[in-house]
Amino acid sequence: MPDATGLELIGKELGAAVLDKTFFRERATLDVDPAAVRAVLAHLRANGFTFLASVHGLDYFPHEPRLGVVYELLDMRRVDRITVRVRVPTDAPDLDSVTPDGEDGPGWPTASHQEREVYDMFGVVFRGHPDPRRILMPEDYEGHPQRRDFPVGGEPVLFTRDEAQWLEARE
Amino acid sequence: MNATGVSDYRRGEQSITLTPPAEQIARRDGDREEMLTINFGPHHPATHGVLRLLVRLEGEVVRELKPIVGYVHTGIEKTAEDKSYWKVIPVVERMDYLSYYFNAMAFCGAVETLAQVDVPPRAQYLRVIHLELNRIASHLIWLGTSILDLGATSIFLYCLRERELVLDLFEMSSGQRMHTRYFQVGGVIEDIPLGFARKLREFLDVMPKRADEYGAILNSNEIVLQRLRGTCPLDAERLLALGVTGPLLRAAGNPWDLRKAAPYSSYDQFDFKIPVGTVGDNYDRYACRLAEIYESVKIIEQALEGLPEGPYITTDRKVALPPRHELATSMEALIHHFKLVTEGFRVPEGEAYYPIESPRGELGCFVRADGSAKPARVHMRDPSFVNLQALEPMVEGSYIADMIATVAMLDPILGGIDR
């Protein structure tokens, strides 16, 4: 892990793109402006963090902006990890996809499945993703089940004995 | 038999051209290209679960491949948000159903990081013993089913025979054969019982010999070699870009292993090697995993030999249940027990990511705590889910039969992919 000083230095290099820096339980986290996520990851790649280990989605309900996307970067040479966190609101959950190659440098092909999962579960739309479909839930599914306001057991289950009643309700 | 000492059969066999099929198919301008789309799975025995592959074929050559997953999605991550921390363990164990100890370890590790719980050395060693036993069991299932896909039935039976011994050991230490819930936040649920060490030593004696036997059967089997050697290689650079870790990456020559690189649970105290391959073809993938079985045996031997005395779970009563006998005499223990069982323990606000080396690569658990007794988010970075992306680049331009072998050597566990 970069220590607290290392995190300050990286934060300074990135300038205005960094909104906040957290050092918690030996884990360095950069809170980043959603518009700059590709630039920040490219900068960190140039600094040795060449492996994107994981992408997580989060819902910070009831805090705003609610949705979070977390990128775990790994430097295999120095065995060092850094976390980049982006927050987007639910009414405009847009974010640049980091999967494809772009003008600002090569992409991270490993993020493809993981961004699809974040879209599936939280509804974050990744602009420019090569295959922006759901991955775990059925394609015709409505809603994003990992959001905190989506109830557990919110999925109605159709049993044979209720079939007639269901069909009536649909008409 | 002719003058050169080569039988007619052998000569016929040697005349088979092994040049890449992509180059064999001549394509002239004006010819209509004909592609065949086939649906492979989800219920096909060679997909190792309910994996569905949409494959575009040109003749027998794979041109395009799309994995479709989600058939066993059970919303484990959502369920975990509705349970107190100690009740999440049995739920996450059911993700990757062949490496349950690893799932529990990643989750417990993340919670221990957040709650700053120290794990006593004996518990760390016991964890290592069970993790490595689980790695052996997982590799045995992989070996048996993979070679079964290549047409050999007997290896499957041998592998299950040895796996049975591992499951017997699990049953002895925790009462369960699978999904044991043995790891707890702060340590393990119980010390190993009397006789466990003797039975474990018996297993450690027999396992390397049995692994030798597997090697002897497979490494001199011409069909296995023809199917594995040189098929579907992918270089380390591409694999890293695709986020592939574990035996697949090591087979391509990159010795990245979190047990060595960033040791957790006192892995730094054991002497073991990391098997690596050279070209990263299917044979290397197979050989790496087979060699890992020996290394796991070595680690368990050392852990059993050096097993420290002391508590097997943290003595922090706010996190771990008090021992049963204290309940009869101590009011305080009774209160702690009641609070832990009804409400669970609270974890301070924050986020943690805890990566470990599972049999399939980097298994990381991300936990966000909001200060209550239930996690606000549990996410597993499952290696199978990420590694599956490498399947298309691996099999593009090779025969569909090699695709079967590659899926087997990829070792995807659908429970882990779909969660």
Per-residue pLDDT tens digits for A79-127: 888 999 999 998 888 898 888 888 888 889 999 999 999 999 999 999 8
Are the beta carbons of A72 and B350 separated by less than 8 Å?
A: no
> Which of B52, B76, B116, B242 should we substitute to test contact with A (largest number of A Cβ atoms within 10 Å)?
B242
Q: How many residues does this entry show for chain A?
A: 171
- B253/B284 Cα distance (integer angstroms): 9
> Which of B76, B377, B389, B391 should we substitute to test contact with A (largest number of A Cβ atoms within 10 Å)?
B377
Q: Which residue of B has its CA nearest to A114?
A: B386
User: Distance (Å) from the C-alpha of residue A163 to the closest C-alpha of chain B?
Assistant: 24
Give how far the C-alpha of residue B27 lies from the chain's centroid of Cα atoms, to the nearest Å.
42
Contact present, B73 and B418 (Cβ < 8 Å): yes
Burial A31-51 (b: 16+ CB within 10 A, else e): bbebebbbbbbbbbbebebbb
Q: Is the predicted pLDDT of residue A154 greater than 90, yes or no?
A: no
Confidence of residue A23 (pLDDT cuts 50, 70, 90): confident
Chain A residue numbers touching B348 (CB-CB < 8 A)? none
Are the beta carbons of A113 and B355 separated by less than 8 Å?
A: no
Chain B residue numbers touching A98 (CB-CB < 8 A)? none
Contact present, B371 and B349 (Cβ < 8 Å): yes
- H/E/C letters for each residue in chain B? CCCCCCCHHHHHHHCCCCCCHHHHCCCCCCCCCCCEEEEECCCCHHHCCCCEEEEEEECCEEEEEEEECCCCCCCHHHHHCCCCHHHHHHHHHCCCCCCHHHHHHHHHHHHHHHHCCCCCHHHHHHHHHHHHHHHHHHHHHHHHHHHHHCCCCHHHHHHHHHHHHHHHHHHHHHCCCCCCCCEECCEECCCCCCCHHHHHHHHHHHHHHHHHHHHHHHHCCHHHHHHHCCCCCCCHHHHHHCCCCCHHHHHCCCCCCHHHHCCCCCHHHCCCCCCCCCCCCHHHHHHHHHHHHHHHHHHHHHHHHCCCCCCCECCCCCCCCCCHHHHHCCHHHHHHHHHHHHCCCCCCCEEEEEEEEECCEEEEEEEEECCCCCEEEEEEECHHHHHHHHHHHHHCCCEHHHHHHHHHHHCCCHHHHHC
pLDDT of the residue at B27: 53
Are the beta carbons of A53 and B75 separated by less than 8 Å?
A: no
Contact present, B359 and B393 (Cβ < 8 Å): no
Residues of B with CB under 8 A from a CB of A: 69-70, 73, 75, 77-79, 81-82, 113-114, 116, 240-244, 256, 261-262, 350-353, 355, 362, 364, 366, 368, 376-377, 379, 381, 385-386, 388-389, 418-419
Q: What is the pLDDT of residues B238-291, one digit of tens each?
A: 999 999 999 999 999 899 999 998 998 889 999 999 999 998 889 999 999 999
Taking CB atoms within 8 Å and a gap of at least 24, the contacts of B191-198 are B191/B122, B191/B126, B191/B312, B192/B126, B196/B169, B196/B172, B197/B304
Contact present, A134 and A121 (Cβ < 8 Å): no
Confidence of residue A3 (pLDDT cuts 50, 70, 90): confident
Helices of type H across A20-157: 37-46, 111-122
Q: CB-CB: which of B69, B241, B351 is closest to A110?
A: B241
Confidence of residue A48 (pLDDT cuts 50, 70, 90): confident
Q: Is the predicted pLDDT of residue A41 greater than 50, yes or no?
A: yes
Structure tokens at B28: 């002239």
Contact present, A54 and B381 (Cβ < 8 Å): yes
> Other C-beta atoms within 10 Å of A143: how many?
11
Cβ neighbourhood burial of B24 (10 Å; 0-12, 13-18, 19+): exposed
pTM higher than 0.80 for the full model? yes
Are the beta carbons of A110 and B418 separated by less than 8 Å?
A: no
Q: CB-CB: which of B70, B352, B381 is closest to A53?
A: B381
Contact present, B126 and B312 (Cβ < 8 Å): yes
Chain A residue numbers touching B78 (CB-CB < 8 A)? 145-146, 150, 152
Q: ipTM score here? A: 0.87
The ranges of chain B with pLDDT < 70 are 1-5, 12-14, 16-33
Are the beta carbons of A51 and B379 separated by less than 8 Å?
A: no
pLDDT of the residue at B143: 92
- B367/B108 Cα distance (integer angstroms): 10
Are the beta carbons of A135 and B70 separated by less than 8 Å?
A: yes
Give the residue with greater pLDDT, A1 vs A141: A141
Q: CB-CB: which of A25, A52, A138 is closest to B243?
A: A52
Non-local (6+) Cβ contacts of B112 within 8 A are: B119, B185, B186
3-state class of A142 per DSSP? coil
Are the beta carbons of A76 and B261 separated by less than 8 Å?
A: yes
Are the beta carbons of B350 and A53 separated by less than 8 Å?
A: no
pLDDT of the residue at B316: 86
Q: Is the CB of A98 inside 8 Å of chain B's CB atoms?
A: no
> Which of B111, B237, B353 should we substitute to test contact with A (largest number of A Cβ atoms within 10 Å)?
B353
pLDDT of the residue at B30: 46
Q: Which residue of A has its CA nearest to B256?
A: A76
Are the beta carbons of A72 and B113 separated by less than 8 Å?
A: no
CA-CA-CA-CA torsion sign (B165, B166, B172, B176):
negative
The residues that bridge with A20 in the sheet, in sequence order, are: A31
Query: Which amino acid, B142?
Result: W
- A10/A80 Cα distance (integer angstroms): 13
Q: Is the CB of A147 inside 8 Å of chain B's CB atoms?
A: no
- B54/B200 Cα distance (integer angstroms): 44
> Which of B79, B386, B387 should we substitute to test contact with A (largest number of A Cβ atoms within 10 Å)?
B386
Burial B2-17 (b: 16+ CB within 10 A, else e): eeeeeeeeeeeeeeee
Non-local (6+) Cβ contacts of B382 within 8 A are: B95, B96, B363, B416, B417, B419
User: Distance (Å) from the C-alpha of residue B242 to the closest C-alpha of chain A?
Assistant: 4
Q: What is the pLDDT of residues B97-146, one digit of tens each?
A: 999 999 999 999 999 999 999 999 999 999 999 999 999 999 999 999 99
Query: Which amino acid, B272?
Result: F
Query: Which amino acid, A53?
Result: A
Q: Is the CB of A159 inside 8 Å of chain B's CB atoms?
A: no
- B414/B419 Cα distance (integer angstroms): 8
Q: Is the CB of A56 inside 8 Å of chain B's CB atoms?
A: yes
Query: Which amino acid, B19?
Result: T
- DSSP-assigned states of every residue in A68-106: EEEEEEEETTTTEEEEEEEEE-TTS-EEE-SSS-BTTB-
Are the beta carbons of B362 and A148 separated by less than 8 Å?
A: no
